[in-house]
Amino acid sequence: MLVAPSPASSQYFRQRESNIDPKIFHIDDKTFLGVKLDPALKLKDGTGREFTLKEMLETPLILVFSYYRCDGSCSAVNSALKALLEEPGRMAMGQGFRVLTLSFDEHDDAVTLGKFATDLDLPEEWKEKWTLALFADPGDIKRVTGRVGFKFFWSAPDMTFFHPNVLIFLSPDGRVARYLNAMSNDRQDLDMAILEARKSQFEPHEIVDYVASLCFSYSFKDGRYVYNIPLFVGAGSLLLGILLLVGSLVIFKKKKVTTREEA
């Protein structure tokens, strides 16, 4: 699945430079949905502390592959996510989900991570829930990114990686529940994807959220959630049925006399 950076592909990109076919980075999400990431995957944070993916997975997890030397889209993606999470949503940051920004660049280290974190400037109270991390063993990078269909290319002339800007929603058992385009969705899409990643394991007080989520379904073509129209049609027709019932019980009272006389 993974196309490794190679002279040939660099050349390919040089010729097309600013005109890269975005389809190369398209993740065929139907192929990768449900893929399980190894919970024992070792990661390390900016302080060098090692931890496993499993520790992040008590709740759904939003996984963002970035690289910290990036001065373009990666900052934009993380900032956009931060901005979305600052918007009022169904779930407050950190309640019911966490975020993991993970570098796919083997050259990243604690220093570049630290600089990236400073630029991102997460609020203090978020820092427990939004972790910026590196692969503890850079040898895992290709395997893990390849497993979820995340492709990237190093373009030497541009001194930059080309990669998809995608949010990956992992369920608590470490399976990919949904991909969302990192740049073109709103808070509601985010909430919906988190609810989906929970596999319906919601708390009783969240039942309203859950019912609301039934009104939407994911459109693979649009890459976002759209209204689940048949549900509304169905609900409307049920209402019609109930109205018919109530109607026949109450409205026809007058009819009684006339019919009996006719007959």
Partner 1 sequence: MSAQSHGFSLKEWIFTTDHKRIGILYLIGSVAAFAVAGIMALLIRVEQSSLGPTVFGSIEDAGNHYNTFLYFHGAAMILGFLIPGLTGFAANYFLPLMIGAKDVAFPRINALSVWLFWAGIVMALLTFLVPDGPDVMWTGYPPYSIKTGANTAFYVFTVHLMGFASILGAVNFLVTVIYMRAPGMGWNQLNMFVWSTVTAFIIQLVFVPVLAAAVTMLLFDKYLGTNFFNPDLGGDVLLYQNLFWFYSHPAVYVILLPALGILFEIVSTMSKNPIFNYKAAVYGGMWGIVLISGEVWVHHLYVSGMPNWIRIGQMVSTLLISVPVGLLTISLFGTLFRGAITYNVSMTYAVSCLFLFLIGGLTGIPLAMTALDLHLSETAFVHAHFHYIMGIFAAFSVFAAVYHWFPKMTGKIANERTGKIGFWFNFIGVNVTFIPLFKIGVEGMPRRYFDYQMFPQFETYHMIAMVGALLIAVGIAITILNWIMSAAKGERAPENPWNSASLEWTHCPSPPGPGNFPKDVVVTADWTPYDYGRKK
Partner 2 sequence: MKARILAVVGGLLPGMPVLAEAAEAGAIQDPAAGWDHLWNEVLIDLTVMGGVFAALAVWWLIKYKATSPTQIGRGPKLSRAQTWSWALVPAFVFMADDFFLAAKGWTLWNIYRTVPENAMEVKVTGMMWNWQFEYENGVTTQFYPLEEGEAKGDGLVVPVGRPVVLRMTSLDVVHSFGLTDYRVKEDLMPGRITYIWFYPKEVKESVVTCTEYCGMKHSYMYAPVKAVSATDFDSWMNKKKQGGA
For the chain, the 3-state helix, strand and coil shares in percent, each to the nearest 5, are 45, 20, 35
Taking CB under 8 A as the rule, does residue 236 contact partner 2? no
Place of tokens 């169904």: 90
Instruction: From 29-37, 76-84, 203-211, 236-244, give the range in contact with partner 2 by CB under 8 A.
Output: 29-37
Both tokens of 179, joined, read 């991909």
Taking CB under 8 A as the rule, does residue 33 contact partner 2? yes
Spell out a b/e string for 218-251, using b for 16 or more CB atoms within 10 Å of the CB, else e: beeeebbbeeeeeeeeeeeeeeeeeeeeeeeeee
Among 28, 34, 83, 243, binds partner 2 (CB under 8 A): 34
C-beta closer to partner 2: residue 220 or 252: 220
Contact between 63 and 102 under an 8 Å Cβ cutoff? The reply is yes
Place of tokens 């497993």: 147
User: CA-CA distance, 166 to 154, in Å (whole number)?
Assistant: 18
Instruction: From 9-17, 28-36, 111-119, 157-165, give the range in contact with partner 2 by CB under 8 A.
Output: 28-36
Report the nearest approach of partner 1 to the CB of residue 180 (Å): 14
Report the nearest approach of partner 2 to the CB of residue 187 (Å): 24
Taking CB under 8 A as the rule, does residue 23 contact partner 2? no
Positions 187 through 226 that interact with partner 2 (CB under 8 A): 218, 220
C-beta closer to partner 2: residue 23 or 30: 30
Taking CB under 8 A as the rule, does residue 30 contact partner 2? yes
C-beta closer to partner 1: residue 126 or 210: 210
Question: 26: closest CA among 52, 47, 1?
Answer: 1
- Interface ranges with partner 2 (CB under 8 A): 30, 33-36, 173, 218, 220
